[in-house]
């Protein structure tokens, strides 16, 4: 016998309390010498023996009731075979519901096969055993409310849970799922646990490279309180020869664009199989309506290609752009990808003008304004989406920077400390900052206020100005130019298109030299030079981004401001800098949705998930509008946020992991390793010991016994009381019955009857009677 609450056994001596109370309550017998008692002795002896038997039985019941209550609180367990003919088993179905399970074999998906096999196994589980269902994607989630003990009704509830399970567009973490199943709370009535994993055997979901994780799982199986059997059922077939063309994702030059502003979209297609795929088409749709069809070439096994499409919108709004590959393969869900683009009228930004008194071409902000489609505060016919506002540096710390998305300093000069602090707060809260160093830049002031020993806005300190022409030993050597291929940063992707832009022809005569970062602490470089030195570096600061450029944004030190690439660079870099303050419509799994709505009357919204579920979102007041936030974005796919009564929808998209399209299965070595782990519960000695000591709970029976003992004690106490005191009422009288009253009483007393006997009579041997006053 074992006890789950062993400490309660310390109270077991309390069972002797009724005996102690009985002994303390006893008093000495008083001997009354009464001659007439001799005629009653025989009858009294018979009645006393029966009464003592009942009293001892009553005392025994009280002792047993206290002892049974203490043992019940200690929760004793007895071997299961004492109360059952066979051991009970809990079956845990771990279902791989990742996207790869939607692969079809013989016109039926592997997920449907898994559900059918689980239902068939469920039908074979006898009543009294328990069942759980665990879904593995996107993370382990229980589909049943705890362990369900099987009977006629609960079997149907478990079957409904199987039917309601759905596959996702994401991957599965099978190692975490097995941990969750093995460490689940064990029902006290179960003697064994059986974990059945239904999967397609896709290698990417197993994370077999995590040696420490698999070792911990093996330890968990060994130390389980009950014998645990792990069974892996692979439903898929060998797919090494199958072709699977997938649209891994859609890249876009910017996700916030202006009306009539053309932008590019690039679909990344890859053949994840070994066989070549035939040529096909790629259909582009906007809000569900097809807009364009692109050609997809034949792809060899493992090969990839990019398909480009350029588009513009005529009205503002938020649009979901999708592309669908016409590929005839086994896994259809990965033939489609989506990106969400926001179309706006303008994006406000600040331009610092530090030389307003100079001639137009010599002003710091002139070329940046021109690249944005503005001149002297007036917009040109072909302006971009960014609307600049010129401001004097001395007024910057007094302005409300929250009204702007980015701040551009075309030619940095020494700024007041209050202005630097205002810029720090602005960037930390999601703003963008573009700093261009120039002739009026003070090295010491920059390093003190902007670099600040690595804690400031600038990612690197600067050493001083470098004259590239003077530093060249060979006068016939090529000039130092921008290397368009020095970086693969997304903000410089278009600058690398040298067949359309003159990025590689931009020469740099003078510049500031950045202090190299410490070893092991690389810095993100946007643009580099042909001599290997960085020209523009960036870093994140809080939620915002900062770009520091070693040349000014004007006709000094380089030919950048008069190149064709300058216009593209200004638009692309400002789009990159202003992105953190824009609403993020393209999310990673679990990344929260946060959108600011100008309409303050909106109190709530409804979020529709990829599975069609509705999530209520409460609005929080923020300035002149409201903010809607939710983190219910764990499932990859399309989301729609419907606002209030109007029902206006804002689309969002959670991206899926492209590795889920790789259908490669486990290797033979992986199978051997899994077999070793699964076999631990069969032959391990500790598991056999756990099987021997597994028990049935005894405390429900003990509690029932306590109630029965108390009931019988009450009944027996009542019987004893009746026998002792009788049931007839006691008559009240002032004189003893049968004695003469009045005048006859005196004659009765004079006769000597009832008088005190003489002393000689008292010394005769009397008949002794004992009366127990207990």
Domains, the chain, ranges and CATH? 2-79+700-724 (no CATH), 89-238+665-693 (3.40.50.410), 245-341 (2.60.40.10), 347-581 (3.40.50.880), 586-654 (2.60.40.10)
For tokens 């530090």, the residue is 354
Which residue would you say has higher pLDDT here, 67 or 47?
Answer: 67
Any alpha helices (H) in 74-139, and if so which ranges?
Answer: 110-123
pLDDT given for residue 186 in this prediction? 86
Chain centroid to CA 164: how far? 21
pLDDT given for residue 307 in this prediction? 95
Q: Do residues 228 and 125 touch, judged by C-beta distance below 8 A? A: no
**Which of 659, 650, 657 shows the shortest CA–CA distance to 628?**
650
- pLDDT > 90 in the chain, percent: 45
Instruction: Of 93-97, 414-418, 493-497, 700-704, give the range with the top mean pLDDT.
Output: 93-97
Q: Return d(Cα 280, Cα 278) in angstroms, integer.
A: 6
Peptide linkage before 91 cis (omega within 30 of 0)? no
User: What are the beta bridge partners of residue 266?
Assistant: 251, 308
| Structure-derived torsion over alpha carbons of residues 207, 213, 219, 223, reported in degrees to the nearest 10 | -90
Q: Do residues 342 and 582 touch, judged by C-beta distance below 8 A? A: yes
Q: Which tokens belong to 188?
A: 């006290």
- pLDDT > 70 in the chain, percent: 82
Q: pLDDT by residue (tens digit) across 534-553? A: 999 999 999 999 999 999 99
752 — pLDDT class (breaks 50, 70, 90): very low
Q: pLDDT by residue (tens digit) across 605-620? A: 999 999 999 999 998 9
Q: Return d(Cα 310, Cα 308) in angstroms, integer.
A: 7
Q: Return d(Cα 134, Cα 162) in angstroms, integer.
A: 10
| Structure-derived torsion over alpha carbons of residues 165, 166, 168, 171, reported in degrees to the nearest 10 | 40
48 — pLDDT class (breaks 50, 70, 90): low
Q: Do residues 232 and 92 touch, judged by C-beta distance below 8 A? A: no
Q: Which tokens belong to 719?
A: 């019987």
Q: Which tokens belong to 509?
A: 């005569």
295 — pLDDT class (breaks 50, 70, 90): very high
Answer yes or no: is pLDDT of 382 > 70: no
Answer yes or no: is pLDDT of 762 > 50: no
Task: Provide the 8-state DSSP code for 446.
Answer: I
Torsions phi, psi of 311, nearest 5? -150, 160
User: What are the beta bridge partners of residue 529?
Assistant: 482
Q: Return d(Cα 321, Cα 586) in angstroms, integer.
A: 11
Q: Return d(Cα 551, Cα 327) in angstroms, integer.
A: 49
Answer yes or no: is pLDDT of 688 > 60: no
100 — pLDDT class (breaks 50, 70, 90): very high
Lowest mean pLDDT across 277-291, 423-437, 573-587, 692-706 = 692-706
Q: pLDDT by residue (tens digit) across 361-375? A: 778 889 999 999 887
pLDDT given for residue 141 in this prediction? 93
């Amino acid at each position: 016998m074992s006890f789950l609450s062993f400490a309660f056994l310390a109270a077991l001596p309390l069972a002797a309390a009724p005996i102690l109370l009985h002994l303390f309550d006893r008093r000495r017998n008083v001997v009354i010498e009464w001659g007439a008692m001799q005629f009653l002795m025989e009858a009294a002896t018979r009645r006393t023996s029966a009464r003592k038997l009942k009293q001892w039985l009553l005392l025994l019941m009280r002792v047993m009731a206290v002892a049974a209550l203490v043992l019940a609180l200690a929760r004793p367990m007895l071997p299961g075979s004492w109360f059952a003919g066979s051991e009970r088993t809990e079956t845990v179905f771990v279902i791989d519901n990742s996207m790869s399970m939607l692969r079809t074999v013989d016109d039926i998906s592997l997920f449907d096969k898994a559900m059918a096999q689980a239902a068939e196994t469920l039908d074979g589980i006898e009543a009294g055993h328990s069942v759980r269902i665990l879904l593995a994607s996107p993370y382990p989630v229980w589909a049943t409310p705890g362990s369900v003990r099987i009977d006629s009704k609960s079997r149907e509830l478990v079957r409904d849970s199987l039917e309601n399970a759905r596959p996702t567009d994401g991957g599965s973490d099978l190692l975490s799922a097995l941990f969750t199943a093995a460490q689940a709370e064990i029902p006290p009535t179960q003697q064994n646990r059986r974990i059945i994993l239904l999967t397609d055997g896709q290698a990417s979901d197993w994370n077999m490279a995590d040696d420490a994780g698999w070792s911990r799982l093996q330890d968990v199986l060994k130390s389980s309180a009950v014998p645990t059997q792990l069974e892996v059922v692979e439903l898929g077939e060998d797919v090494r020869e199958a072709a699977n063309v997938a649209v891994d994702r859609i890249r876009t030059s910017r996700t916030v664009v202006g009306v009539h502003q053309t932008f590019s979209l690039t679909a990344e297609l890859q053949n994840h199989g070994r066989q070549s795929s035939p040529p096909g088409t790629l259909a582009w749709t906007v809000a569900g309506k097809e807009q364009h069809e692109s050609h997809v070439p034949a792809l060899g096994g493992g090969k990839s290609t990019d398909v480009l499409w350029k588009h513009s919108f005529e009205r503002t709004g938020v649009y979901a752009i999708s592309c669908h590959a016409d590929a005839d393969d086994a896994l259809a869900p990965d033939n489609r990808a989506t990106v969400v683009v926001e179309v706006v009228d303008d994006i406000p930004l600040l331009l610092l003008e530090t030389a307003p008194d100079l001639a137009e071409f010599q002003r710091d902000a002139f070329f940046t304004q021109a690249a944005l489609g503005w001149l002297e505060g007036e917009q040109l016919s072909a302006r971009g989406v960014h609307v600049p506002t010129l401001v004097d540096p001395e007024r910057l710390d007094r302005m409300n920077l929250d009204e702007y998305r980015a701040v551009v300093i075309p030619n940095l000069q020494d700024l007041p400390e209050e202005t630097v602090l205002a810029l720090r707060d602005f960037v930390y809260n999601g703003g963008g900052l573009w700093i261009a160093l120039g002739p009026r830049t003070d090295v010491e002031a920059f390093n003190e206020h902007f670099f600040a020993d690595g804690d400031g806005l600038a990612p690197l300190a600067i050493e001083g100005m470098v004259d590239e022409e003077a530093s060249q030993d060979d006068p016939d050597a090529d000039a130092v130019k921008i290397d368009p291929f020095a970086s693969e940063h997304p903000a410089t992707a278009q600058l690398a298109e040298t067949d359309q832009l003159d990025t590689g022809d931009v020469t740099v005569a003078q510049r500031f030299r950045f202090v190299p970062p410490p070893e092991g602490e690389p810095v993100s470089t946007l643009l580099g030079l042909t001599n290997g030195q960085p020209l523009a570096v960036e870093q994140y600061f809080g939620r915002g981004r900062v770009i520091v450029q070693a040349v000014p944004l004007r006709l000094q030190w380089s030919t950048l401001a008069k190149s064709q690439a300058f216009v593209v660079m200004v638009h692309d870099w400002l789009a990159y800098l202003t992105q953190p303050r824009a609403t993020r419509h393209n999310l990673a799994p679990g990344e929260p949705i946060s959108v600011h709505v100008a309409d303050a009357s909106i109190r709530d919204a409804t979020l529709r998930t990829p599975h069609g579920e509705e999530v209520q979102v409460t609005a929080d007041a923020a300035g002149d509008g409201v903010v809607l936030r939710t983190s219910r974005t764990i499932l990859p796919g399309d989301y729609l946020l419907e606002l209030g009564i109007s029902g206006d929808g804002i689309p969002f998209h959670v991206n899926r992991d492209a590795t889920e399209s790789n259908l490669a299965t486990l290797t033979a070595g992986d199978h051997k390793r899994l077999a070793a782990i699964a076999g631990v519960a069969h032959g391990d000695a500790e598991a056999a010991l756990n099987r021997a000591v597994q028990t049935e709970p005894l405390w429900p029976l003990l509690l029932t016994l306590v109630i029965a003992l108390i009931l019988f004690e009450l009944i027996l106490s009542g019987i004893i009381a009746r026998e002792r005191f009788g049931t007839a009422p006691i008559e009240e009288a002032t004189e003893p019955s049968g004695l003469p009253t009045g005048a006859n009483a005196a004659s009765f007393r004079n006769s000597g009857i009832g008088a005190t006997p003489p002393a000689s009579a008292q010394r005769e041997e009397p008949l002794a009677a004992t009366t127990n006053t207990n």
